[in-house]
Chains A and B, each alone.
Chain A
Amino acid sequence: MKQEIMLGDKQEIPEVVKNSNAIEAFAKRQQTIMDKLKILTDAAKYDVSCSSSGVERKGNGRDMGNCSAAGICHSFSADGRCISLLKILFSNECAYDCKYCINRRSNDVPRATFTPDEVCELTMNFYRRNYIEGLFLSSGIVNNPNYTMELIYQAIYKLRNVYRFRGYIHVKGIPGTDPLLIQKIGFLADRMSVNLELPTADGLKKLAPNKHRKNILAPMRQIQQGIQQSKNEVILYKNAPEFVPGGQSTQMIIGATPESDYQLMMVTQSLYENFALKRVYYSAYVGINEDKELPAVTGGTPLLREHRLYQADWLLRFYHFRAEELLSEKKPNFNILLDPKCDWALQHLEQFPVEINRADYQTLLRVPGIGVKSAQRICGARRTARLTFEDLKKLGVVLKRALYFITCSGKMMYNTKLEEDYITRNLLSVHERLPFDRDGVTYKQLSLFDDGQENVRLFEHVAGARLKIPSGSV
């Protein structure tokens, strides 16, 4: 804030401010690499993507590093998210003032900036010890987008050409950067992502006043075209340099603006179709800042909503569903109680039951309880045998969900009715496995039976010493 005042009026700087600035500058010089890592990790943690997938690159027998197409996670943090890449910001200084962001100009948080060598040393040493699969480099806006991207370019240029690192590099594209710079970075990085931030242009205008939809879509389009062009060149010339071989991704915040799930899915679908994205990430809005433009966080982080969106996202990418099939203007939000696929199946009972031994792959994929793997296994196994329900269990089909929708050799598993109410009731009685607590808020949310301390007191006399409450669950 002080700095802003200084820039605002051109009067002479009072002595006190001068001194405090000097102290700040001194403190900055004294920042250890540990301080910097802490500050710049903390600032980067809200970036969702941490995948290291999409690129298969063997070692060259001389330099350090290779890439595995499936991606490798190296650890899991306390929130259950994977740690695959060294996810840091180059700098958390920022000229922008996006309402939702921890690093916005108007926030008083400790600031730090890495040097390219520090980033390289950290990456190389972490990678060598098998801590990480590569580097994820993003940054706050230092001065302006071009200046910032130039800094990032220097760091990864050094990492690739001086340190000769062959592992995975994910670089965030900053909207408004010169296309030439994006082009240069694209040939060094494995994946690039430009954040959509908010699903609609209106939301963006309201919460991220310095960003514009047009500026976000332009680099996205450029990267898409670059990837396509590079693919064509690689076909012609085997050793042509690869441009963003791991594809591009994006992320948007959900729950900070009033969009419906339907709008979100339509945006997602158009990103996959028109921009050929590899992944769209959703991040449940976490109230970090207080601002009159932002929603008050009352119900906690909307994790269940995020979970449903990811489930639907999978349906789009691997199950040949379309967003319009799952939701509509009339039914704009996902069912809280049922996953999107079950919900869809219950609305389309006329397409069931499906005969396991005859139905084609795409039809199998639409059956609740049958996933990509089990559908593939069914297709493989039924070439040589007629499958029974017993076999399906072995193939990994979740029968307690699938049994209402399938027949084996013309027979249902039990004498079940093909009625919406009946199946819904039965499906709901089967506990859905969610990656967090049932209430859909957070695992930390307390209820009577979650409260370990309380439980111990309540059930002491019943369970005695046998009742062990994991200390981490509260």
Chain B
Amino acid sequence: MEEYVFICEDSLEGIFSGVYEAYEFKKEEGIESHDILHLAVKEPDMYRLFTQYIRLETNEEKAKKVIRTIKRELGEHTYYDLCLAAICVDEEKADAIYHTIVTGLKYHDKNVFARLHDKAVHKAFTCRRNAANELHYCKEFLRFEELENGILYAKIGPKNHVLPFLVPHFADRLPADNFVIYDETRGEFALHPRYKQWYLVTNHEFDERELVYSEEEQVYRELFTEFCQTIAIEERINLKLQRQMCALRYRPYMVEFQ
């Protein structure tokens, strides 16, 4: 039997509007089951036989409709989980999200993420967990540096697209600070002007070497590094455990490991 793969943009709106198109396509073509419809976020490395590939444009209206339905039928909590799954690096996420929504709507199950025996739900669940874990690590290991003009600057290099979920945490925490978080992997900036709404900036030319740090910055870096070294109990040194708790890939961004 012929299968269909919809290729949509790798973004929240892209995936959700893809879901809309898939439903619409199913209805128009009179297809019986969602099983032969798939969603992907990029062109496949290998094209399969008996499969039609359909490229989609992102449509905000359609995405909004899907989001509204998810919130109403599956609840805010499921919506948040699906959003987290959507920022994961895993390319199979779009299909997993699509089929999780299908399952949820079919059984009117607000607790659809509990159906872990379902293959698609399990996949969406692991994507969500992956993204949520990294989001938490970023809250833990992100380090701000104070620039000359008092602005706080932080650089992160996450695998998943966690930045939009990360900023609210810091905006709530540091309302009186101007801060910038730079996602090195995607070249994306989050800007938070003091006491104002934060926003994202992409495609901006930027050279880190031009940054000038404040005089105090070096002092606090040294103080904290010293603190981290002193707090360890020599008789209990356990670098394996340290590595398990704080993966090496986060350390280039952390002052105490420089």
Interface residues of A (CB under 8 A from B): 33-34, 37-38, 41-42, 44-46, 58-66, 68, 72-83, 86-87, 122, 125-126, 128-131, 284, 286, 300-301, 303, 377, 380-381, 383-385, 387-388, 391, 394-395, 435-436, 442-444, 470, 472-473
User: Given A79-B237, A381-B115, A129–B173 Cβ distance below 8 Å?
Assistant: no
Q: Is there contact, CB below 8 Å, between A444 and B242? A: no
B246 beta carbon closer than 8 Å to chain A: yes
B154 in contact (CB, < 8 A): yes
By size class, the interface of chain B is 35 or more
Enumerate 19 A-B pairs (CB-CB under 8 Å) in ascending A order.
A60-B175, A64-B176, A72-B136, A75-B228, A75-B246, A77-B242, A82-B245, A83-B227, A83-B231, A128-B144, A128-B177, A129-B152, A131-B220, A284-B236, A301-B236, A303-B236, A384-B115, A443-B240, A470-B239
List which B190-237 residues lie within 8 A (CB) of chain A: 195, 216, 220, 222-224, 226-237
> Is B149 engaged at the interface, CB distance under 8 Å to the other chain?
no
Q: Is the interface of A mostly helix, strand, loop or mixed?
A: loop
Q: Which residue of A lies closest to B224 (CB)?
A: A131
Chain B residues within 8 Å of A473, by CB: 239-240
Q: A42-B230, A128-B174 are in contact. Are A80 and B241 (CB under 8 A)?
A: yes
Closest to B246 in A: A76
Could you tell me if A78 and B239 are in contact, using CB atoms closer than 8 angstroms?
A: yes
Partner of A442, one of B231, B236, B244, B256: B236
Q: Do the beta carbons of A129 and B176 come within 8 Å of each other?
A: no
A contact residues around B152 at 8 Å (CB): 128-129
Q: Are B143 and A381 within 8 A (Cβ)?
A: no
Interface residue? B111 (CB, 8 A): yes
Cβ–Cβ contact A37 & B226, under 8 A: yes
Cα separation A83 to B257 with both chains bound (whole Å): 13
A64 touches B173 (CB 8 A): yes
Complex CA distance for A72 and B216, rounded to whole angstroms: 25
Chain B residues closer than 8 Å to A131, beta-carbon distance: 143, 220, 224, 255-256
Judge whether B159 is part of the interface by a CB distance below 8 angstroms.
no
Q: B242 to A79, Cβ gap below 8 A?
A: yes
Residues in chain B near residue A64, CB distance under 8 A: 173-177
**Given the complex, which residues of A lie within 8 Å of B236, measured CB to CB?**
79-81, 284, 286, 301, 303, 442
Is B114's CB within 8 Å of the partner chain A? yes
Specify which chain A residues have a CB less than 8 angstroms from the CB of B48 in the assembled complex: none
Residues of B within 8 A of A45 (CB): 230-233
Contacts of B29 in A (CB 8 A): none
Contact at A126–B114, with CB atoms within 8 Å?
no
Contact of A80 among B216, B223, B229, B242 (CB under 8 A): B242
Q: Are B238 and A435 in contact (CB under 8 A)?
A: yes
For the complex formed, measure the closest distance between the CB of B70 and the CB atoms of chain A, giving whole angstroms: 19
Bound Cα distance A65, B176 (Å) = 10
The answer to the question of B55 belonging to the interface, with a C-beta cut-off of 8 Å to chain A, is: no
CA distance A44 to B232 in the complex (A): 10
Contact of A41 among B122, B220, B230, B239 (CB under 8 A): B230
B47 interface hit (Cβ, 8 Å)? no
Cα–Cα, bound, A44→B240 (Å): 24
Which residues from B are CB-within-8-Å of A75?
140-141, 228, 246, 254, 256
* A80-B170 Cα distance, complex, nearest whole Å: 26
Residues of A close to B220: CB separation below 8 A: 125-126, 129, 131
Q: Is the CB of B239 within 8 A of A443?
A: yes
Contact B172 A395 (CB under 8 A): no
Identify the interface centre among B116, B220, B226: most chain A CB within 10 Å of its CB: B116
Q: Which residues of B contact A286 (CB under 8 A)?
A: 233, 235-236
CB-CB < 8 A to A301: which residues of B?
Answer: 235-236
Contact B231 A87 (CB under 8 A): yes
How near does chain A come to B221, taking the closest CB pair, in angstroms?
Answer: 9
Question: Which chain B residues border A303 with CB–CB below 8 Å?
Answer: 236
Complex CA–CA separation, A68 to B216 (angstroms): 28
Q: Kindly list 9 other residue pairs between chains A and B, CB separation below 8 angstroms, not including A61-B195, A128-B146, A444-B237.
A: A58-B172, A68-B139, A75-B228, A77-B231, A83-B228, A125-B216, A131-B143, A131-B220, A394-B116
A41 contacts B115, C-beta separation under 8 Å:
no
Among B152, B170, B222, B235, chain A packs the most CB atoms within 10 A around the CB of B235
Whether the pair B237, A74 counts as a contact (CB closer than 8 A) is: no
Complex alpha-carbon distance, A130 and B220, angstroms: 12
Whole-angstrom CA separation of A63 from B176 in the bound complex: 7
The answer for the CA separation of A252 and B115 in the assembled complex, in Å, is 43
In the assembled complex, which residues on chain A have CB atoms less than 8 Å from the CB atom of B21? Answer: none
Q: Contacts of B246 on A, CB cut-off 8 Å?
A: 75-76
Smallest Cβ-Cβ distance to B103: which chain A residue: A384
User: A75-B254, A300-B235, A394-B116 given as contacts; is B146 within 8 A of A34 (CB)?
Assistant: no
Q: Which of B136, B154, B172 contacts A59 (CB 8 A)?
A: B172
- Inside 8 A of B227's CB, which chain A residues have their CB? 37, 41, 83, 86
Q: Does B107 contact A (CB under 8 A)?
A: yes
In whole angstroms, how far apart are the Cα atoms of A58 and B143 in the complex? Answer: 21
Query: Smallest CB–CB gap between B245 and chain A, Å?
Result: 4
Closest residue on chain A to residue B146 by CB atoms: A129
Chain A residues contacting B56 (CB-CB under 8 Å) are: none
